[in-house]
Amino acid sequence: MKFDYLVVGSGLYGSIFAHEAKKKGKSVLVIEKRENIGGNIYTKNIENINVHIYGAHIFHTNNKKVWDYITKFADFNRFTNSPVANYKGELYSLPFNMYTFNKMWGVVTPEEAANKINEQRAEIKNEPQNLEEQAISLVGRDIFEKLIKGYTEKQWGRDCKELPPFIIKRLPVRLTFDNNYFNALYQGIPVGGYTGLIEKLLEGIEVRLNTDYLENKAEFDKLAHKIVYTGPIDAYFDYKLGTLEYRSVRFETELLDIPNYQGNAAVNYTDKETPWTRIIEHKWFEFGKDLEGNDIPKTVISREYSSEWKPGDEPYYPVNDEKNNNLYKKYKDLADKENNVIFGGRLGEYKYYDMDQVIAAVLDKCNEELF
């Protein structure tokens, strides 16, 4: 029998598409090259701690439709992301807010903070052309030097002058005492981790793990009328126009026999010298408690190192600069000619999507495609 859809990739995009297709009575097969479902949001339970294996994931959105949709598949807790920045042992609150400004400059009122920022941003005279100019124009040079430059250059492996301004515009700047990292109406972590959420989406759907579509593309294409491809778009075309650049991430994860390593889910190391970008202490995503509400005696931490991607590595972050976006457009033209293939998700569309944006994108696609 031929499936209506072959979904390549069991991340958020693929799993939601598969779920919606099944709901509409379509037959669906999901294949996944990793040994686990969930793509980058996969979590693994270690000693009652749900470890975010592919990096810390905090769900946040202003989109009520997306929130109403995703909360059907899991209960979300009230976790609010408030990372701490560690610059050579000095600790600062993130995102940039009155606590940060007070620690940086000793200013006490919003007016004093605004004056300090205005003084420092005066060096940028025109529309910011790169991340460095954008950052200075948002928060001034002191914060740029201590909290942005080192972190950003480690994360992206490029000078801040060579990075696009929009990356830093993701971070809020506030003249209030508010350490909530996101400007989002809705925020939280699925109780018990993300994997259960994906399992619910994929209930009743055949999933084949350890199965790489591109290794046997012609054979898989015969299995279904239509393909939903959520892997890297350039890999689909065998990199024939060149490789799109990604940033990759490497995690060093340790189980420690102590209850509390750093007192917070995320600590960013914003100096240049520390080789990792941040340390995640996973238990704090669920307040250090197990599902029965007991304190967890151990802890799991992950040091996160950023690296340049090369073929064979896991691609994580698309590098949406001009050069790569232009190359992507050429691949997109080829993709538009593949009549029976939908390209979706962070890698399929080469977009720096957050989870809520992936959900919005796939739900739109389902509306267009499934009836």
Task: Provide, rounded to whole angstroms, the least separation between the CB of residue 261 and ligand FAD.
Answer: 19
Tokens 């004093």 found at: 112
Distance CA 191, CA 74 (A): 7
Identify the sign of the CA torsion 211, 217, 223, 226.
positive
Coil vs helix vs strand at 121: helix
**Which 101-120 positions form the footprint of ligand UDP (CB under 6 A)?**
none
Q: Which of 167, 207, 267, 327 binds ligand UDP (CB under 6 A)?
A: 167
- Which helix H or strand E contains 44, and what residues bound it? strand 43-46
Work out the burial of residue 337: count CB atoms within 10 Å of its CB; fewer than 13 is exposed, 13-18 middle, 19 or more buried: exposed
Q: Which of 7, 11, 86, 96 binds ligand FAD (CB under 6 A)?
A: 11
Tokens 């060096």 found at: 123
Give the binding range for ligand UDP (CB under 6 A) out of 41-49, 162-170, 293-301, 330-338. Answer: 162-170
Distance CA 22, CA 203 (A): 10
174 is catalytic: yes
* Catalytic pick among 132, 174, 316, 349: 174
Distance CA 201, CA 371 (A): 19
Determine if 155 is a binding residue for ligand UDP (CB under 6 A). Answer: yes
Determine if 7 is a binding residue for ligand FAD (CB under 6 A). Answer: no
Q: 88: closest CA among 304, 263, 270? A: 270
Strands 28-31 and 3-8: parallel
* Catalytic pick among 32, 133, 234, 354: 354
Coil vs helix vs strand at 87: strand
Answer with the entry of ligand FAD, ligand UDP, none that 148 interacts with (C-beta below 5 to 8 A by kind): ligand UDP
What tokens appear for 328 in the block? 């992507």
Answer with the entry of ligand FAD, ligand UDP, none that 182 interacts with (C-beta below 5 to 8 A by kind): none
**Which 289-318 positions form the footprint of ligand FAD (CB under 6 A)?**
316-317
Coil vs helix vs strand at 54: coil
304 is catalytic: yes
Q: Which of 101/353 has CB closer to ligand FAD?
A: 353
* Catalytic pick among 186, 278, 328, 331: 278
Q: Which of 170, 225, 240, 323 binds ligand UDP (CB under 6 A)?
A: 170
* Catalytic pick among 162, 170, 208, 254: 170
Could you check whether the bond before residue 128 is cis, i.e. omega within 30 degrees of 0? no
121 is catalytic: no
Q: 19: closest CA among 73, 75, 74? A: 73
Answer with the entry of ligand FAD, ligand UDP, none that 309 interacts with (C-beta below 5 to 8 A by kind): none
Q: Which of 3, 9, 280, 285 binds ligand FAD (CB under 6 A)?
A: 9
Q: 148: closest CA among 130, 128, 129, 168? A: 168
Q: Which of 37, 66, 124, 147 binds ligand UDP (CB under 6 A)?
A: 147
**By the criterion CB under 6 A, which residues form the site for ligand UDP?**
85, 94, 147-148, 151-152, 155, 167-168, 170-171, 268, 270
Q: Catalogue the active-site residues.
A: 170, 174, 247, 278, 304, 352, 354
**By the criterion CB under 6 A, which residues form the site for ligand FAD?**
8-14, 31-34, 39-41, 55-59, 212-214, 230-231, 249, 316-317, 345-347, 353-356, 358
